[in-house]
Amino acid sequence: MLGGMLLTGLGVGLTLPTAFAAGAGTLPPHRFATGTAVLSMARRLGLAVGVAILVALLGAPTTPAAILDAFQRAWYVTAAVAILAGLVGLGIRPTAPGPKPVDQQEPGLEPAPNP
């Protein structure tokens, strides 16, 4: 059990700062608090929905064979969702930051024209 907990802690410790940096790194300073709050809310909502789906998949089995089948079914669904999330993550490409809003630009600089 210790090995699994250590790997989980390591994974979460490496994932959360990276996800928040990627999600909030391009936000202007006046939107940073709102942006990180939305990211945090989305993470917590995903956690709640994931636990609800897991509980629904497990159900209320009564025999040892039914318990094993329920946990195997839940494991397969969890693995499939993880693989799908990984494939979606591979398709995400960074974008170039757009021009700064007029109120955030340095004095004396004109905004870049839109082509």
pLDDT confidence bin for 35, thresholds 50/70/90: confident
> Residue 60's Cα: distance from chain center in Å?
29
Above 80 in pLDDT, residue 53?
Answer: yes
Structure tokens at 37: 């709050």
Distances (CA, A) of 16 to 3, 20, 21, 28, 54: 20, 6, 8, 20, 22
Domain map (residue ranges) of the chain = 32-90
Amino acid identity of residue 98, one-letter, is G
Q: If you average pLDDT over residues 86-95, what whole number do you get?
A: 82
**If you average pLDDT over residues 60-80, what whole number do you get?**
91
